[in-house]
Amino acid sequence: MHIGHNRLKIIDRSDEANQPFRSEDGRYLLAYNGEVYNYKEIRRQLQARGHSLKTASDTEVVLHLLILEGANGLQQLDGMFALAFYDTATHQLLLARDRFGIKPLYYADTDQSFVVSSEIKGILASGLVPKELNQTQLECYLQYRHALKPQTFYKGIAELEEGHYLLWQNNSLTTTPYCSVSAPQQEEVVPTGQLISKTKELLCESVQRHLVADVPIGLFLSGGVDSTLLLALLHEAGHTQFPAFSIALKPSEGSFGTQDTYYARLAAERYKASFTPFEIDENILAGTDALVRGLDQPIADGTALVTSYLAGAVKPHVKVVLSGAGADELFGGYNRHWAFYQYLRHQNKALALRGVLRLAKPLLVTGFDHPLRNTFRLLNKLPDKIHPNPYNTFLQFTEMDSALQQLLKERSGRPKSVNQEKDWLKWCLQHDLHQYLISDVLSMTDQTSMQHSLEVRTPYLSNGLHQYLQGMAGGTLFRQGQKWVLKEVLAAQGGKEFTNRPKEGFGMPLGKWLRDPKNSWLFQELRDSKAILFEFLNYTQTQQLLHLHLNGRHDYSTEVWALLVLAKWLQFNFAS
């Protein structure tokens, strides 16, 4: 048994808190990645039960909790973590991952060894697991922009799912859920005022817990509802001049993204933050190869480039940042959530509208960079996305353009249906919470930030807030518009003007940049007919799609970026 750990010191920076952490009697070992925000409360409970702790770290608290309660203690942990806990007496290894999957954990079970790491690169570096491509993930990637867990892009390497623990002993393993983020059967009817006040109370509590650290903390501020609300609550709690960081496009990029900068600066002024914007232009694309090389698995999310740049720029200022990630999945903030809500309300009309929109498709221009481009793209694709079955309809809303899937030489198809749901709206939020949030947003954020030794924390993903929201019907979260609960909380904090702006995040004019001839070097792997990508994709059809985007006839920026990332990742990882 070999256990190693590379520590980013956040809480109790002394060497006594280094890992792997060993119990006083030497029997137990813990290697732990992440933070547990309620560790002080658990510490007091342990001390009341006679446990003596020698450090101020949350790692030692987790160790003693697992010694005392084993896997049963995992439910008490509120935070982000991936851990390996080993009993040298019984030779039992316990692996566990937080309930939201904020921190990754991978493993490989072979005839000769069992290897675990928070990065796939760590498993491959062991030399104990052969490096083989799992081709089934290619179709998943082209449909959803990321791998579908628990499988990975590597044969024999699996991802431990969120809210699960794994026991390995005597060369056998079992995986078990220790908590569920699924909706309970009993759903409350919650009065509007109570819902707003309770949401604020739980979010305030979570924000305060997420501030526990022995290093400086800041905030990723986009000027949208989620990050602005976090800043407003920090200000209300007495945190003035809180460091806030944002991305601003240089004036040479025109009007694209200027609302982000305007509202981020306005939020910083309103809530007395110390605001630092970092300017970018299309030269940020120079970091594409470095970004892709750092990814364990390909992720077709263009914001990864911006997030990576921002993480590197922020690192000299702080070691921890708060992020608004998770708010959209909990409160229904994506356009597909609202579209699905309207589809369920007017299902018969939607099916009739499908025919009308099919006639209008030639009139829906999509080949331009414009703040409304996503609306036009959605309308253009809508006729093909509406189905009598809600399951198929929502999955169509989550998939990329079918043009990408047509490039595959062989297709297996996705599951056709699921059991009828009592609450389809709740199901769609759960779907994004389990898939898109974990495999795209959180994975991308963790990998890009950890490349710069920056820790990103997500106050919206707290046990208390999530459990409260799961006790109500999905329609409650949509009855007054998209993400209306958070907007009401923010409006009460003096931020009403932030609640009606279009959703942008850290946006960039990717379509325009990809068309610029000076960036043609990006397509080296896509132009090469002998590239690994074209063992699986049709080369001619791929060139046709690329040509349609580059000549401005269609806006395929999302699809082109997905292909570009996949082509580069395959070359970097599987070229001989």
552 is in an annotated binding site: no
To the question of whether residue 247 is assigned a binding role by annotation, the answer is yes
pLDDT of residue 404: 74
Domain ranges of the chain: 15-177, 192-331+432-509, 335-426, 511-574
**Quick one: pLDDT at residue 330?**
96
CA distance 225 to 505: 10
pTM over 0.95: no
Domain at 192-331+432-509, CATH class:
alpha beta
Q: How far apart are alpha carbons 511 and 377 in whole angstroms?
A: 13
User: Cα(312)–Cα(528) distance, rounded to whole angstroms?
Assistant: 32
| Helix (H) or strand (E) segment spanning residue 573 | helix 557-574
Of 146, 172, 169, 170, which Cα lies nearest the Cα of 159?
A: 146
What's the topology of domain 15-177?
A: Glutamine Phosphoribosylpyrophosphate, subunit 1, domain 1 (3.60.20)
Whether residue 324 is annotated as binding a ligand: the answer is yes
CA–CA separation, 571 vs 185, rounded Å?
Answer: 47
Helix residue ranges, H only, 272-369: 288-293, 303-314, 327-331, 335-345, 347-360
DSSP string, 133-198: B-THHHHHHHHHSS--TTB-SBTTEEEPPTTEEEEEETTEEEEEES---SPPS--B---HHHHHHH
Under the phi-then-psi rule, with left for phi > 0, alpha for psi from -120 to 50, and beta for the rest, what region is 74? Answer: alpha
The predicted pLDDT at position 251 comes to: 80
Cα→Cα distances 567→277, 400, 516, Å? 32, 17, 20
pLDDT at 367: 43
Q: Is 42 flagged in the annotation as binding?
A: no
| Calpha distance 94→420 (Å, rounded) | 36
pLDDT of residue 365: 42
The candidate with the shortest Cα–Cα distance to 19, out of 2, 33, 31, is: 31
**Sequential pLDDT tens for the chain (576 residues):** 666 656 555 555 556 655 688 999 999 999 999 999 999 999 999 999 999 898 888 999 999 999 999 999 999 999 999 999 999 999 999 999 999 999 999 999 998 899 999 999 999 999 999 999 999 999 999 988 999 999 999 999 999 999 999 999 988 999 999 986 555 555 567 889 999 999 999 999 999 999 998 899 999 999 999 999 999 999 999 999 999 999 998 887 665 556 788 999 999 999 999 999 999 999 999 999 999 999 999 999 999 999 999 999 999 999 999 999 999 999 999 888 888 888 788 765 544 455 444 444 444 444 444 444 454 445 445 545 555 566 666 666 666 556 677 787 776 655 544 556 678 888 889 989 999 999 999 999 999 999 999 999 999 999 999 999 988 888 899 888 889 999 999 999 999 999 987 666 557 889 999 999 999 999 999 999 999 999 999 999 999 999 999 998 888 999 999 999 999 999 999 997
CA distance 339 to 346: 11
CA 332 to chain centroid, in Å, comes to 15
Helix (H, G, I), strand (E, B) or coil at 357: helix
